[in-house]
Protein backbone atom coordinates (compact mmCIF):
# COMPACT_ATOMS: atom_id res chain seq x y z
CA UNK A 1 0.00 0.00 0.00
CA UNK A 2 1.44 3.37 -1.04
CA UNK A 3 1.08 6.12 1.53
CA UNK A 4 2.41 9.44 2.74
CA UNK A 5 2.43 8.37 6.37
CA UNK A 6 6.15 8.07 6.97
CA UNK A 7 9.46 7.53 5.24
CA UNK A 8 9.78 4.57 7.61
CA UNK A 9 7.13 2.88 5.47
CA UNK A 10 9.24 2.94 2.30
CA UNK A 11 11.14 -0.04 1.00
CA UNK A 12 14.87 -0.73 0.80
CA UNK A 13 16.87 0.78 -2.03
CA UNK A 14 17.99 -1.91 -4.52
CA UNK A 15 21.67 -1.01 -4.10
CA UNK A 16 21.38 -1.40 -0.34
CA UNK A 17 19.64 -4.74 -0.80
CA UNK A 18 22.46 -5.85 -3.08
CA UNK A 19 24.96 -4.95 -0.37
CA UNK A 20 23.03 -7.05 2.13
CA UNK A 21 23.02 -10.01 -0.26
CA UNK A 22 26.78 -9.69 -0.74
CA UNK A 23 27.29 -9.55 3.03
CA UNK A 24 25.33 -12.80 3.33
CA UNK A 25 28.15 -14.71 1.66
CA UNK A 26 29.57 -17.52 3.81
CA UNK A 27 30.60 -17.10 7.47
CA UNK A 28 32.20 -14.03 9.03
CA UNK A 29 33.45 -13.06 12.45
CA UNK A 30 30.87 -11.41 14.65
CA UNK A 31 30.61 -8.14 16.61
CA UNK A 32 32.21 -6.04 13.89
CA UNK A 33 35.35 -8.08 13.34
CA UNK A 34 34.50 -8.59 9.66
CA UNK A 35 35.71 -6.91 6.51
CA UNK A 36 32.28 -5.45 5.66
CA UNK A 37 32.30 -3.49 8.91
CA UNK A 38 35.91 -2.44 8.37
CA UNK A 39 34.96 -1.19 4.91
CA UNK A 40 31.97 0.73 6.26
CA UNK A 41 34.03 2.34 9.03
CA UNK A 42 36.60 3.45 6.46
CA UNK A 43 33.85 4.93 4.30
CA UNK A 44 32.36 6.87 7.20
CA UNK A 45 35.78 8.21 8.17
CA UNK A 46 36.33 9.24 4.55
CA UNK A 47 33.06 11.19 4.52
CA UNK A 48 33.24 12.78 7.99
CA UNK A 49 36.79 12.65 9.36
CA UNK A 50 39.42 10.03 9.98
CA UNK A 51 39.37 11.11 13.62
CA UNK A 52 35.88 9.86 14.49
CA UNK A 53 34.53 6.74 16.17
CA UNK A 54 31.62 5.10 14.26
CA UNK A 55 29.43 2.67 16.24
CA UNK A 56 26.75 0.74 14.38
CA UNK A 57 23.53 0.18 16.32
CA UNK A 58 20.11 -1.34 15.68
CA UNK A 59 17.79 1.67 15.58
CA UNK A 60 17.20 5.36 16.16
CA UNK A 61 16.12 5.20 19.78
CA UNK A 62 19.12 3.02 20.52
CA UNK A 63 21.46 5.47 18.83
CA UNK A 64 20.06 8.37 20.86
CA UNK A 65 20.41 6.40 24.09
CA UNK A 66 24.02 5.48 23.36
CA UNK A 67 24.90 9.06 22.39
CA UNK A 68 23.25 10.65 25.41
CA UNK A 69 24.69 8.13 27.86
CA UNK A 70 28.13 9.12 26.62
CA UNK A 71 27.41 12.81 27.11
CA UNK A 72 25.59 13.05 30.44
CA UNK A 73 25.38 11.62 33.93
CA UNK A 74 22.24 11.16 36.07
CA UNK A 75 22.72 14.56 37.71
CA UNK A 76 22.63 16.35 34.34
CA UNK A 77 19.76 17.77 32.33
CA UNK A 78 19.26 17.50 28.56
CA UNK A 79 17.78 20.52 26.80
CA UNK A 80 15.62 19.89 23.74
CA UNK A 81 12.64 21.25 21.84
CA UNK A 82 9.27 20.19 23.24
CA UNK A 83 8.65 18.30 19.98
CA UNK A 84 11.94 16.39 20.23
CA UNK A 85 11.91 12.68 19.51
CA UNK A 86 13.64 11.88 22.82
CA UNK A 87 10.89 13.73 24.70
CA UNK A 88 7.80 12.69 22.75
CA UNK A 89 8.42 9.41 20.93
CA UNK A 90 10.86 7.25 22.86
CA UNK A 91 8.70 6.09 25.78
CA UNK A 92 10.99 7.65 28.37
CA UNK A 93 13.96 5.47 27.38
CA UNK A 94 16.49 8.37 27.35
CA UNK A 95 15.50 9.26 30.92
CA UNK A 96 15.50 5.63 32.04
CA UNK A 97 18.90 4.90 30.53
CA UNK A 98 20.70 8.14 31.36
CA UNK A 99 18.95 9.06 34.61
CA UNK A 100 19.14 12.64 33.42
CA UNK A 101 16.30 15.13 33.43
CA UNK A 102 14.92 16.31 30.10
CA UNK A 103 14.11 20.02 29.87
CA UNK A 104 11.72 20.63 26.95
CA UNK A 105 11.70 24.10 25.39
CA UNK A 106 8.64 25.56 23.68
CA UNK A 107 9.31 26.47 20.04
CA UNK A 108 7.12 27.53 17.15
CA UNK A 109 8.97 25.57 14.48
CA UNK A 110 10.76 22.75 16.32
CA UNK A 111 14.07 24.65 16.30
CA UNK A 112 16.08 25.73 19.32
CA UNK A 113 17.96 29.02 19.36
CA UNK A 114 20.55 30.43 21.77
CA UNK A 115 17.89 32.85 23.03
CA UNK A 116 15.51 29.97 23.83
CA UNK A 117 18.26 27.93 25.47
CA UNK A 118 19.81 30.63 27.67
CA UNK A 119 17.05 30.72 30.34
CA UNK A 120 17.80 27.06 31.08
CA UNK A 121 21.52 27.62 31.61
CA UNK A 122 21.61 28.27 35.32
CA UNK A 123 22.32 26.47 38.56
CA UNK A 124 25.82 25.45 37.55
CA UNK A 125 27.71 24.22 40.60
CA UNK A 126 24.58 24.23 42.77
CA UNK A 127 24.23 20.74 44.24
CA UNK A 128 20.44 21.17 44.53
CA UNK A 129 19.91 21.53 40.77
CA UNK A 130 20.33 19.24 37.80
CA UNK A 131 23.36 20.44 35.90
CA UNK A 132 22.77 21.41 32.25
CA UNK A 133 24.86 18.84 30.42
CA UNK A 134 23.73 18.45 26.82
CA UNK A 135 21.64 19.97 24.06
CA UNK A 136 19.71 17.67 21.75
CA UNK A 137 18.96 18.80 18.19
CA UNK A 138 16.99 17.04 15.46
CA UNK A 139 18.11 17.66 11.89
CA UNK A 140 15.62 17.82 10.21
CA UNK A 141 13.33 18.70 13.10
CA UNK A 142 10.17 16.79 13.89
CA UNK A 143 8.27 19.61 12.17
CA UNK A 144 10.20 19.24 8.93
CA UNK A 145 12.17 22.44 9.45
CA UNK A 146 15.93 22.67 9.02
CA UNK A 147 18.72 24.29 11.02
CA UNK A 148 21.09 26.30 8.87
CA UNK A 149 24.83 25.90 9.33
CA UNK A 150 25.03 29.29 11.05
CA UNK A 151 22.19 28.38 13.41
CA UNK A 152 23.94 25.16 14.39
CA UNK A 153 27.23 26.95 14.99
CA UNK A 154 25.53 29.49 17.23
CA UNK A 155 24.03 26.73 19.39
CA UNK A 156 27.20 24.65 19.65
CA UNK A 157 29.24 27.75 20.46
CA UNK A 158 26.88 28.59 23.31
CA UNK A 159 26.92 25.02 24.60
CA UNK A 160 30.69 24.77 24.58
CA UNK A 161 30.99 28.07 26.46
CA UNK A 162 29.17 26.32 29.30
CA UNK A 163 31.16 23.07 28.94
CA UNK A 164 28.09 21.32 27.58
CA UNK A 165 27.92 18.94 24.64
CA UNK A 166 25.62 18.84 21.61
CA UNK A 167 23.99 15.72 20.20
CA UNK A 168 22.46 15.78 16.73
CA UNK A 169 19.74 13.27 15.95
CA UNK A 170 20.34 12.89 12.24
CA UNK A 171 17.52 10.51 11.38
CA UNK A 172 16.78 12.79 8.40
CA UNK A 173 20.12 14.58 8.12
CA UNK A 174 20.37 13.61 4.45
CA UNK A 175 17.25 15.63 3.67
CA UNK A 176 18.72 18.64 5.46
CA UNK A 177 22.02 18.40 3.58
CA UNK A 178 20.15 18.07 0.29
CA UNK A 179 18.01 21.11 1.03
CA UNK A 180 20.95 23.31 2.04
CA UNK A 181 23.43 21.85 -0.46
CA UNK A 182 26.06 21.15 2.19
CA UNK A 183 28.07 18.02 2.96
CA UNK A 184 27.57 15.70 5.89
CA UNK A 185 30.78 16.95 7.46
CA UNK A 186 29.81 20.60 6.99
CA UNK A 187 26.53 19.89 8.75
CA UNK A 188 28.09 18.13 11.74
CA UNK A 189 31.76 18.20 12.65
CA UNK A 190 32.38 21.61 11.10
CA UNK A 191 29.43 22.99 13.08
CA UNK A 192 30.80 21.73 16.39
CA UNK A 193 28.50 18.73 16.87
CA UNK A 194 29.97 16.36 19.49
CA UNK A 195 28.02 13.17 18.69
CA UNK A 196 25.83 12.36 15.69
CA UNK A 197 23.15 9.73 15.34
CA UNK A 198 23.57 9.07 11.62
CA UNK A 199 20.37 7.58 10.26
CA UNK A 200 19.50 5.98 6.96
CA UNK A 201 16.41 3.86 7.66
CA UNK A 202 14.17 6.71 6.51
CA UNK A 203 16.23 7.14 3.35
CA UNK A 204 16.68 3.70 1.79
CA UNK A 205 18.28 1.46 4.41
CA UNK A 206 16.60 -1.62 5.85
CA UNK A 207 17.57 -1.00 9.46
CA UNK A 208 20.25 0.38 11.72
CA UNK A 209 21.95 3.65 12.49
CA UNK A 210 25.48 4.72 13.28
CA UNK A 211 26.52 6.71 16.34
CA UNK A 212 29.47 8.81 15.22
CA UNK A 213 31.53 10.21 18.08
CA UNK A 214 33.53 13.34 17.25
CA UNK A 215 34.45 14.43 20.79
CA UNK A 216 37.75 12.72 21.60
CA UNK A 217 37.03 12.66 25.33
CA UNK A 218 33.98 10.42 24.77
CA UNK A 219 35.59 7.76 22.60
CA UNK A 220 37.14 5.60 25.31
CA UNK A 221 33.79 4.66 26.84
CA UNK A 222 31.78 4.44 23.62
CA UNK A 223 32.02 0.71 22.91
CA UNK A 224 31.23 -0.20 26.53
CA UNK A 225 28.16 2.04 26.53
CA UNK A 226 26.94 0.48 23.29
CA UNK A 227 27.25 -3.02 24.74
CA UNK A 228 25.49 -2.11 27.98
CA UNK A 229 22.72 -0.51 25.95
CA UNK A 230 22.04 -3.83 24.14
CA UNK A 231 23.00 -2.20 20.83
CA UNK A 232 25.98 -4.36 19.86
CA UNK A 233 24.96 -6.58 16.94
CA UNK A 234 26.58 -10.00 16.73
CA UNK A 235 26.06 -10.22 12.95
CA UNK A 236 27.10 -6.62 12.47
CA UNK A 237 27.92 -7.01 8.79
CA UNK A 238 24.19 -6.76 8.01
CA UNK A 239 24.08 -3.32 9.60
CA UNK A 240 27.43 -1.99 8.44
CA UNK A 241 27.37 -3.16 4.82
CA UNK A 242 24.33 -0.98 4.17
CA UNK A 243 26.30 2.16 5.05
CA UNK A 244 28.99 1.36 2.51
CA UNK A 245 26.36 1.25 -0.23
CA UNK A 246 24.62 4.30 1.25
CA UNK A 247 27.77 6.44 1.12
CA UNK A 248 29.00 5.20 -2.27
CA UNK A 249 28.39 7.50 -5.26
CA UNK A 250 26.29 9.79 -3.04
CA UNK A 251 23.35 7.40 -2.85
CA UNK A 252 22.32 9.01 0.45
CA UNK A 253 22.17 12.41 -1.26
CA UNK A 254 20.39 11.24 -4.41
CA UNK A 255 17.68 9.57 -2.31
CA UNK A 256 17.20 12.67 -0.18
CA UNK A 257 17.14 15.04 -3.15
CA UNK A 258 14.39 12.95 -4.70
CA UNK A 259 12.35 12.77 -1.49
CA UNK A 260 12.61 16.53 -1.02
CA UNK A 261 11.66 17.16 -4.66
CA UNK A 262 8.57 14.98 -4.30
CA UNK A 263 7.56 16.89 -1.16
CA UNK A 264 8.01 20.18 -3.01
CA UNK A 265 5.84 18.96 -5.85
CA UNK A 266 3.16 17.80 -3.41
CA UNK A 267 3.35 21.22 -1.71
CA UNK A 268 2.88 23.00 -5.05
CA UNK A 269 -0.16 20.85 -5.82
CA UNK A 270 -1.74 21.47 -2.41
CA UNK A 271 -0.93 25.06 -1.56
CA UNK A 272 -3.74 26.60 -3.64
CA UNK A 273 -6.40 24.04 -2.75
CA UNK A 274 -9.27 25.77 -0.99
CA UNK A 275 -9.22 25.10 2.74
CA UNK A 276 -5.61 23.89 2.83
CA UNK A 277 -3.28 25.81 5.14
CA UNK A 278 0.36 24.88 5.70
CA UNK A 279 1.36 25.17 9.35
CA UNK A 280 5.14 24.86 8.90
CA UNK A 281 7.60 25.84 6.21
CA UNK A 282 7.97 23.16 3.55
CA UNK A 283 11.73 22.70 3.79
CA UNK A 284 12.36 18.96 3.65
CA UNK A 285 10.36 15.82 2.90
CA UNK A 286 7.76 16.45 5.61
CA UNK A 287 4.69 18.61 5.08
CA UNK A 288 2.45 19.86 7.90
CA UNK A 289 -0.93 21.25 6.95
CA UNK A 290 -4.51 21.59 7.99
CA UNK A 291 -7.61 21.09 5.87
CA UNK A 292 -11.34 20.57 6.45
CA UNK A 293 -12.03 17.38 8.38
CA UNK A 294 -14.38 16.11 5.66
CA UNK A 295 -11.50 16.19 3.18
CA UNK A 296 -9.18 14.41 5.61
CA UNK A 297 -11.72 11.67 6.25
CA UNK A 298 -12.22 11.13 2.53
CA UNK A 299 -8.48 10.93 1.90
CA UNK A 300 -8.07 8.44 4.73
CA UNK A 301 -10.34 6.06 2.86
CA UNK A 302 -7.64 5.73 0.17
CA UNK A 303 -4.41 6.72 1.93
CA UNK A 304 -2.88 6.28 5.35
CA UNK A 305 -1.23 9.24 7.03
CA UNK A 306 -0.96 10.62 10.55
CA UNK A 307 -2.71 13.42 12.35
CA UNK A 308 -0.27 15.81 13.97
CA UNK A 309 -2.85 17.76 15.98
CA UNK A 310 -6.21 16.16 15.40
CA UNK A 311 -8.07 18.84 17.35
CA UNK A 312 -6.83 21.37 14.79
CA UNK A 313 -7.30 19.11 11.76
CA UNK A 314 -3.55 19.23 11.23
CA UNK A 315 -1.92 16.32 9.38
CA UNK A 316 1.56 15.29 8.32
CA UNK A 317 2.46 14.04 4.85
CA UNK A 318 5.90 12.53 4.24
CA UNK A 319 7.56 11.64 0.95
CA UNK A 320 10.31 9.06 0.50
CA UNK A 321 13.17 8.14 -1.82
CA UNK A 322 10.74 5.85 -3.65
CA UNK A 323 7.79 8.27 -3.91
CA UNK A 324 6.80 8.68 -7.56
CA UNK A 325 5.07 11.35 -9.61
CA UNK A 326 2.26 8.86 -10.07
CA UNK A 327 1.83 8.63 -6.28
CA UNK A 328 1.36 12.37 -6.08
CA UNK A 329 -0.90 12.57 -9.14
CA UNK A 330 -3.16 9.90 -7.72
CA UNK A 331 -3.29 11.54 -4.29
CA UNK A 332 -4.26 14.90 -5.82
CA UNK A 333 -6.82 13.19 -8.04
CA UNK A 334 -8.46 11.60 -5.00
CA UNK A 335 -8.37 14.92 -3.19
CA UNK A 336 -10.12 16.78 -6.01
CA UNK A 337 -12.66 14.03 -6.48
CATH number at residue 327: 3.90.1150.10
Q: What is the mean pLDDT of each run of 10 residues along the chain (337 residues)?
A: 88 97 95 97 98 97 98 98 97 97 97 98 96 98 98 98 98 98 98 97 97 98 97 97 98 98 97 94 97 93 92 96 95 90
- Is the Cβ–Cβ distance between 278 and 289 less than 8 Å? yes
| Cβ neighbours around 189 below 10 Å, total | 18
From 186, 215, 249, the end of a domain falls on: 249
Strand 76-81 to 131-138 pairing: parallel
CA–CA separation, 15 and 30 (whole Å): 23
From 226, 249, 272, the end of a domain falls on: 249
Peptide bond into 140 cis (omega under 30): yes
Q: Are residues 147 and 231 in the same domain?
A: yes
Strand 165-170 to 195-199 pairing: parallel
CA–CA separation, 59 and 56 (whole Å): 9
Q: Which domain holds residue 311?
A: 251-336
CA distances from 139 to 14, 146, 157, 173 (A): 26, 6, 17, 5
From 249, 283, 302, the end of a domain falls on: 249
Give the whole-number percent of the chain exceeding pLDDT 70.
100
Q: Are residues 214 and 278 in the same domain?
A: no
Residue 1 lies in a domain: no
CATH number at residue 39: 3.40.640.10
**What does the pLDDT read at residue 100?**
98
Amino acid sequence: MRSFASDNNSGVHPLVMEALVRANDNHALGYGEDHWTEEAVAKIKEVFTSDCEPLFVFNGTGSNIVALQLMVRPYHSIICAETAHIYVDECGSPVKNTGAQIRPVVTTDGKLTPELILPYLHGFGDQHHSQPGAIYLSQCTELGTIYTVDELKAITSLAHQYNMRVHMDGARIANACAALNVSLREMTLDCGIDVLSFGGTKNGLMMGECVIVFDNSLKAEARFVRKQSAQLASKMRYLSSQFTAYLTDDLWLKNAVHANAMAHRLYEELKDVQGVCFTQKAESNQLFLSMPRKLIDKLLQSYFFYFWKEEKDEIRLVTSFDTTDEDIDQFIKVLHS
